[in-house]
Structure 1
């Protein structure tokens, strides 16, 4: 019933008060990486449903960089020569944002604009904070408990130094929110590893260490990082309400940027 109501609202939203058809807004194409873990794809679909519920009149599509259908080139081809904003479901800058997605967009007939990756952004911090509280993190703690506590922000990792800058900024924002140290760590391609970060914090007397899952969906890396937690581990960001709002924020931000017929990365 909710889906039928949403579709009806979409149809009514495309009709102006004088009965004429309104132009359809540029399509939102959410660009996911892709994964062999089936939980990833189901999580992404659920997130897109949240986005559609928030913006019923907006055409929302999905395209993958690899591993899952639909692949991004196929999604863009299906749009013909229409307008589209590509929002990477990625948490930092890196090769996919800088090379893979722009190259796929440039080869498509659609007129595209490329939004910034999701991170860093305060809405991500809201999602991370919410997931930690769900896992058992107590917002209020004694000073002695606070001195013994810390968080490892577990991310996928990238060889691009700007990705580490973005992850580090998110860690800083989360530390300000929690009032304890937050150390970025990586599952691959970058250092420190999650194990190394946990040992370093223990050497400083921080024995209540939580692992915050800085992944958009469940998968191998997220599972491996969570298993290393000496205390508690939060779930991936997934369908947290802040994630859907952030996807739409990046879409709106890209639309507000200068109009161009070539893929362009909006400012963070």
Structure 2
């Protein structure tokens, strides 16, 4: 005997709520009506949901091209000694190796080509003049600024001379060691010299820096351009006078540190007077090349002129 199936509930008149015989039917009807009303709200003017952001579709900022770095114009003194030009050229080759892409040019104050005005005439844009001089004096304070002023087509800056600086003392120390003066008991620091008092002050500071590197060994500054005879107290000493002063203190064979960037008459004259080891000029020593770049960077960072050094340890980015 088959079980009878209950008949469906009668249809309700229009406008009359339909009775539900289970909770499931009630929930189904509720979901249907809710979805229908939400769809009507969206169709009546709510803005559509924006598309998801994709970083790959974002516009990329346009980076302006890097401005060219100012040309480094190394200003050498010049010499009739043919080895001087070769030495300065080797130094600038080392500078280029340390800073690839930097334009480096050479100009001389006198005696050698190219002269500084000729080098400046061939440039455009910006330039930084770095004197390959080891102290202040007439060339650094007058001659080079005058040449820059005569090149109005350029935007120029003038760096400090290379000395005094710890990197200069490092190069002097290394040249002494190469000459066999690893542990000298005294040193004469031979420099070109100048009538400018700033030159003597700079050379004296370099002598103190070198003495510090040597562990307190006495270092006496002396000048190739000073009179050979001893002058009044406070007068800059010539190399022979400095040697006599050290001999009077018991130092009969002091070493000679050559505070010259390149070979020349003064460097040869001072070395010939030394009774002990005589160092070669600084030339293309790596510390000197780093110092050239340090002075270039200093001039770019300075506002309105040269900056003074705090004679501490130098951090040089090349």
TM-score by length of 1: 0.85
Question: Taking structure 1 as reference, are residues 32 and 238 closer, same or farther at Cα in structure 2, changes over 3 Å only?
Answer: same
State the alpha-carbon separation in 2 of the partners of residues 170 and 210 from structure 1: 16
1:212-254 per-position Cα deviation (integer Å, ceiling 9, x unaligned): 1000011111011001111110000001100000000000000
- Does residue 117 in structure 1 map to residue 161 in structure 2? yes
State the alpha-carbon separation in 2 of the partners of residues 51 and 171 from structure 1: 25
Counterpart of 1:200 in structure 2 is 245
- Does residue 184 in structure 1 map to residue 221 in structure 2? yes
Tell me by how many angstroms 1:22 deviates.
3.1
Higher relative contact order (CA closer than 8 Å, sequence separation 6+): 1
- Does residue 214 in structure 1 map to residue 259 in structure 2? yes
Instruction: Check whether the contact 2:226–2:237 (CA below 8 A) recurs between aligned residues.
Output: no
Structure 1, unpaired ranges of 5+:
1-17, 140-145
Tell me by how many angstroms 1:67 deviates.
1.0
- Does residue 105 in structure 1 map to residue 148 in structure 2? yes
Which of 271, 286, 290 is the matching residue for 1:241? 286
1:156-214 per-position Cα deviation (integer Å, ceiling 9, x unaligned): 01000110000000001111111210000010046311111111111111123001100
Tell me by how many angstroms 1:20 deviates.
7.4
Matches within 5 A, 1:53-132: 53-80=97-124, 82-108=125-151, 109-132=153-176
Counterpart of 1:159 in structure 2 is 195
Counterpart of 1:267 in structure 2 is 308
Matches within 5 A, 1:35-54: 35-54=79-98
Instruction: Check whether the contact 1:28–1:85 (CA below 8 A) recurs between aligned residues.
Output: yes
Instruction: Check whether the contact 2:191–2:260 (CA below 8 A) recurs between aligned residues.
Output: yes
State the alpha-carbon separation in 1 of the partners of residues 119 and 273 from structure 2: 37
Q: Give the secondary-structure state (helix, strand or coil) at the position aligned to 1:208.
A: coil
Instruction: Check whether the contact 1:127–1:243 (CA below 8 A) recurs between aligned residues.
Output: yes
Tell me by how many angstroms 1:19 deviates.
9.7
Query: How many residues end up aligned between the 2 structures?
Result: 238
Instruction: Check whether the contact 2:192–2:224 (CA below 8 A) recurs between aligned residues.
Output: yes
- Does residue 171 in structure 1 map to residue 212 in structure 2? no
Q: Give the secondary-structure state (helix, strand or coil) at the position aligned to 1:62.
A: strand
- Does residue 26 in structure 1 map to residue 70 in structure 2? yes
Instruction: Check whether the contact 1:30–1:86 (CA below 8 A) recurs between aligned residues.
Output: yes
* Structure ID, larger Rg: 2
TM-score by length of 2: 0.72
Instruction: Check whether the contact 1:88–1:115 (CA below 8 A) recurs between aligned residues.
Output: yes
State the alpha-carbon separation in 2 of the partners of residues 55 and 34 from structure 1: 24
State the alpha-carbon separation in 2 of the partners of residues 19 and 92 from structure 1: 42
Aligned CA-pair RMSD: 1.5
> Would you tell me which structure has more helix in proportion to its own residues?
1
Instruction: Check whether the contact 1:114–1:266 (CA below 8 A) recurs between aligned residues.
Output: no
